[in-house]
Amino acid sequence: MAREKCGSVGELCKELSCTRSNVFIMQNGGNKKKRMFIDVHRLKKLSRLSGVALTEFEKNVVGMKSRKTVLGLKLPIGSSPNLASLIAHFMGDGHLNGRHSSYFNQSTELIQDVKDSSNAIFGIDMSENECKGGYELYFPTGAAKILALVGGVEGSKVSTGMEVPGWIINGNVEIRRRFLQSFFDDEGSVIMNYPRRYIVFNLSKSKELIQNNKRFLGSLKEMLAEFGIETTKISDWAENDSGTVEHAFLISKFESISRYAKEIGFKSKEKNKKLESLIASYKRFKGVK
């Protein structure tokens, strides 16, 4: 159809900025030795020239290539618990910055969680690098760009405003649960130092983003409330030497702590163990069964 609209193969080559052999390969879907990869901009032109919607092209996409990395994903990419988990991890201990995107954590469980989610979505098997007393995963540029498009925060999170993506807020229970779990795994802490017994979630932002930080934390509080988990008011937690300001809220009531353990929990074995100890301590102190 595209060739007919252009009038000849030569004119089609000019429109697509490619050679006749490229057109032949596109027409036949590759060759015997390997699959065909087509530049996304060229694909958009081909869609316009042929009158075939991009959604139809997407049905035949079995992978995406960025530099030397092939992502084995299928389009369109839909909302899922695994994708929500990755967005949370990159709002937490991850760093999205094109070719230098990575995720770092000391917990092997969280490293494995990110690896499993990445494999499920992008079809990539990543190996962790041991460094700085923990483990680091490096993300292909293509995967990083997709994560940025669906809500991942690029660059410095301290100096960038954050919002919970609408597809997560309006997603099903499992999507919201995985987002909260992964975020609390990265940024939440279990405190058990009598008389203080609570789960705390705190985030730092530059001073000009204080209101954004409070709104963002407010969104998390609302999501937790949907699981029956009551939280405290957002408080000024600390002002750091770097000039950033930290805000936080707590889960401090026994009923809500127990509810958090039942509905959300942690992937981190260390944090789950602390949570179990906190609940046991609370029961002994309050005489709760």
Domain boundaries, the chain: 2-60, 66-155, 185-286
Same fold: 66-155 with 185-286: yes
Question: What's the confidence (pLDDT) of residue 109?
Answer: 97
Q: Other C-beta atoms within 10 Å of 208: how many?
A: 10
> With bands split at pLDDT 50, 70 and 90, how would you rate the model's confidence at 124?
confident
First-to-last alpha carbon distance for the chain, in angstroms, is 72
Farthest-apart Cα atoms in the chain, separation: 84
CA distance 239 to 244: 6
Mean of pLDDT over the chain: 82
Contact 182, 88 (CB under 8 A): yes
Contact 23, 12 (CB under 8 A): yes
Per-residue pLDDT tens for 198-249? 999 999 888 888 899 999 999 999 999 999 999 999 988 777 777 788 899 9
Question: What's the confidence (pLDDT) of residue 170?
Answer: 95
Contact 260, 229 (CB under 8 A): yes
The CATH number of 185-286 is 3.10.28.10
Q: Inform me whether the pLDDT recorded for 288 exceeds 60.
A: no
Whether domain 2-60 has CATH 1.10.260: the reply is yes
Written as six digits, the tokens of 214 are 């409070």
Residue 35 is classified by DSSP as B
Question: What's the confidence (pLDDT) of residue 140?
Answer: 86
Whether domain 66-155 has CATH 3.40.190.10: the reply is no
Question: What's the confidence (pLDDT) of residue 221?
Answer: 97
What is the DSSP track for 95-128?
EB-GGG-EEEES-HHHHHHHHHHHHHHH------
Contact 248, 201 (CB under 8 A): yes
- 219 closest CA partner among 249, 197, 244: 249
CA distance 170 to 176: 8
